[in-house]
Amino acid sequence: MTRRGAAVAAAVAGLAIVAVVVAALVARGGDTPAIELPRSYATPAPGAYAKPLGTSVRLDAARTDAAYLRLWLAGYTSVTPENAMKWEVVEPSRNAFDFSAADAIVTAARRAGQRVRGHTLTWDVQLPGWVQSRAWTAADMELALRSHVRATVGHFRGRVAQWDVVNEPLDDDGSLTRSVFARVLGERFIDIAFDEAHRADPRAKLFLNEIATELPGPKQDALVALVRRLQARDVPIDGVGLQDHSVAVGGPDQRRLEADIARFARLGLDVELTEVDVAVRPGEPEAAQARNYRAAAAACRRSRACTGLTVWGVTDRWSWQGPGARATPFDAASRPKPAWRALRAAMRRVRRDSR
């Protein structure tokens, strides 16, 4: 071997060692065990729903509450990990990734034939301390953001159909939330996150997900304007997620939701109702809750641009709003409420030959 050849060989060997070390770092810390699926369990009949009907799922609940696990598998055709893909979970310290909790949910969902929504890559809540409190330069934050998005989307490439790339970027008055990302990078953080997500999985549909934009007002207007600016800058955005956390009395009705969806559809976007739940306040009838679930499902079903609807939480026992809000279609003892029948019926595919 010539000296030059030897130098090249040494350099290649060096690179190989670096690659092994990097791989070990990336894989480290992931020891969340798989979700044990029951030996036999029900799933919705193929084609039962006109569009994907999803639920968010918490790993602790799926692992410890057998009724919860069965309701998830039997009732739904799509899943959103409720917390397991958030930044504090997948990258608790810089460049040390742990996808094991999310993998447990994604693996179980795919075995049951479900679609997976990834939630969420960039949000100023549930962030680890190292992101929240570092004195960032713009260049270093861009590196960290790109690396987080690339590793996360890359890990699930081909297994996650849609990503909420950016979550809740706006304040109620429509201004850009002063998140750590916005403070350091301005609105450009959104462009960066979408750009990197698209590179990491060009087939995944990329969404901007926002809360409280189901009702017209300054925030919905600001979301439309933001999307227009992103499109003008060629940011690869496919859709808008309307979370639709609402209340039994005073929540948006079917016409309202159809009009909201149409507003974003006119921008050429897909729309997904991503986090539907309907809180029932004391004294309010369960029938009002059922009406709102039916309205959301019917609006999605009837709107060509709507790609699916996800309920936020399987049962009231595990709802992020607490059992007292009674916000999900199943009560704290895992029994179906009128909301469940209404939701399912509104999303059910109507067969041409059925009477």
Of the residues 82, 168, 210, 214, only one is catalytic, namely 168
Shortest gap between Cβ of 308 and ligand XIL (angstroms)? 16
Pairing of strands 306-311, 270-279: parallel
Token representation of residue 297: 């499902």
Count of residues in contact with ligand XIL, rule CB under 6 A: 7
Q: Interface residues for ligand XIL in 271-310 (CB under 6 A)? A: 275
Choice between 197 and 298, CB closer to ligand XIL:
197
Q: Is 167 one of the binding residues for ligand XIL (CB under 6 A)?
A: yes
Shortest gap between Cβ of 62 and ligand XIL (angstroms)? 13
Which residues are 246's β-sheet partners? Answer: 278
Report the residue number, 208 or 342, with the smaller CB distance to ligand XIL: 208
CA torsion angle 60 63 66 71 (round to 10)? 70
Rounded Cα distance between 271 and 307, Å, is 6
**DSSP secondary structure, 204-222, as one string:** SEEEEEESS-SS-SHHHHH
Q: How far apart are the first and last CA of the chain?
A: 81
User: Would residue 168 show up in a list of annotated catalytic residues for this protein?
Assistant: yes
Cα–Cα distances (Å) from 281 to 152, 212, 284, 294, 312, in that order, read: 38, 18, 6, 18, 17
- As measured in angstroms, the least distance from the Cβ of 320 to ligand XIL is 3
Q: Per the structure block, which two tokens stand in for 26?
A: 């990336």
Positions in 56-115 near ligand XIL (CB under 6 A): 82-83
- Nearer to ligand XIL among residue 167 and residue 220 (C-beta): 167
The candidate with the shortest Cα–Cα distance to 199, out of 147, 250, 240, 251, is 147
Q: Is the Cβ of residue 83 or residue 114 nearer to ligand XIL in the bound state?
A: 83
Shortest Å, Cβ 208 to ligand XIL: 12
Structure-token pair, residue 165:
């790339």
Closest approach, Cβ 69 to ligand XIL, in A, equals 17
Alpha-carbon span 307 to 285, nearest angstrom: 30
Q: Among 123, 113, 181, which residue's Cα sits nearest to residue 152?
A: 123
Identify the sign of the CA torsion 327, 329, 335, 341: positive
Q: Which is nearer to ligand XIL, 314 or 346 (CB)?
A: 314
Tokens of 235: 């940011």
- Considering only residues 132 through 151, tell me which ones interact with ligand XIL, judged by CB under 6 A: none
Cβ of residue 167: shortest distance to ligand XIL, in angstroms?
5
Q: Which of residues 202-261 bind ligand XIL (CB under 6 A)?
A: 211, 243
In this structure, how many other beta carbons lie within 10 angstroms of the beta carbon of residue 258? 19
State the residue number with the nearest CB to ligand XIL: 320
In the complex, the smallest distance separating the C-beta of residue 123 from ligand XIL, rounded to whole angstroms, is 7
Among candidate residues 34, 79, 37, 49, the one with its CA nearest the CA of residue 300: 49
Greatest Cα-to-Cα distance within the chain, rounded to the nearest angstrom: 86
CA distances from 136 to 87, 142, 152, 181, 194 (A): 17, 9, 21, 10, 20
Say which of 142, 196, 258, 275 is annotated catalytic: 275
Between 117 and 198, CB nearer to ligand XIL: 117
Q: Which residues are catalytic?
A: 168, 275
Residues engaged in binding ligand XIL (CB under 6 A): 82-83, 167, 211, 243, 275, 320
